[in-house]
């Protein structure tokens, strides 16, 4: 298979680096660089890592610190620790990782809420049966809340075992990408 070379630029200082695109699939995938198979890719990734360490040490150091804390957090999560202060520290770590990985933020919910209210009012213009209105409203709200949940929790974003194919982008009135 022929290699595809790419040129990337540091987002902080604009320095350019070139190397095999495949390096990212190894680095971001779930396997390690194999020197025999992807030596050039490994050297490419080493070069950009060295740049990060040498030129942007503060940011790299913070990432290293975070990865250590994340690993330690995973270890502590394996144990039952009945201590509210430790539980609080664990939850702060979970929250910090969560904040850094949120893909989408909820948009203007008041716009969506008024859409739902108008839809419900329109239904009520032609129907005065309380039981039917309740059923309709429940379906309306459940649909909207389910969509919000799925967009935020992303349960089906990637099929298990497939980390390369992004899903179809969907437009949501609730979520601002």
Segment contacting Zn ion by CB under 5 A, of 4-12, 42-50, 91-99, 140-148: 4-12
Would you state the structure tokens that stand for residue 41, as one six-digit string? Answer: 């890719």
In whole angstroms, give the CA distance from residue 28 to residue 52.
16
| Site for Zn ion, residues 36 to 75, rule: CB under 5 A | 55
Nearest residue (CB) to Zn ion, 10 versus 124: 10
Q: Taking the CB of residue 23, how many other CB atoms lie within 10 A of it?
A: 23
Query: In the bound complex, what is the minimum distance in angstroms from residue 57's beta carbon to Zn ion?
Result: 11
- Is 16 a binding residue for Zn ion by CB under 5 A? The answer is no
Pick from 44, 52, 39, 56: nearest CA to 17: 44
Contact residue for Zn ion among 13, 16, 102, 121 (CB under 5 A): 13
Query: In the bound complex, what is the minimum distance in angstroms from residue 59's beta carbon to Zn ion?
Result: 9
In whole angstroms, give the CA distance from residue 1 to residue 14.
30
Nearest residue (CB) to Zn ion, 49 versus 138: 49
Query: In the bound complex, what is the minimum distance in angstroms from residue 56's beta carbon to Zn ion?
Result: 6
Helix (H, G, I), strand (E, B) or coil at 8: strand
Query: In the bound complex, what is the minimum distance in angstroms from residue 45's beta carbon to Zn ion?
Result: 15
Pick from 38, 42, 47: nearest CA to 10: 47
Would you state the structure tokens that stand for residue 166, as one six-digit string? Answer: 């992004």
Instruction: Using CB positions, name the residue nearest to Zn ion.
Output: 10
Contact residue for Zn ion among 6, 8, 10, 48 (CB under 5 A): 10
Contact residue for Zn ion among 12, 106, 113, 117 (CB under 5 A): 12
Name the β-bridge partners of 17.
Answer: 8
Helix (H, G, I), strand (E, B) or coil at 20: strand
- Summarize as ranges the residues that interact with Zn ion (CB under 5 A): 10, 12-13, 15, 55
């Amino acid at each position: 298979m022929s290699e595809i070379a790419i040129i990337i630029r540091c987002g902080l200082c604009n320095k350019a680096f070139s190397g095999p695109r495949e390096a990212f699939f190894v680095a971001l995938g779930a396997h390690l660089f194999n020197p025999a198979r992807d030596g050039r890719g490994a050297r490419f990734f080493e070069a950009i890592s060295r740049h990060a360490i040498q030129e942007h040490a503060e940011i790299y150091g913070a990432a290293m610190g975070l990865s250590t804390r994340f690993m330690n957090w995973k270890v502590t999560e394996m144990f039952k620790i009945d201590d509210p202060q430790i539980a609080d520290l664990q939850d702060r770590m979970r929250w910090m990782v969560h904040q850094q990985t949120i893909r989408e933020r909820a948009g203007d919910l008041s716009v969506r809420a008024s859409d739902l209210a108008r839809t419900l009012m329109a239904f009520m213009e032609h129907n005065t049966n309380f039981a039917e209105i309740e059923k309709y409203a429940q379906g309306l709200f459940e649909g909207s809340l389910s969509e919000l949940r799925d967009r935020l929790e992303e349960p089906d974003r990637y099929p298990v075992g497939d980390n390369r194919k992004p899903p179809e982008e969907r437009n949501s009135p609730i979520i601002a990408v």
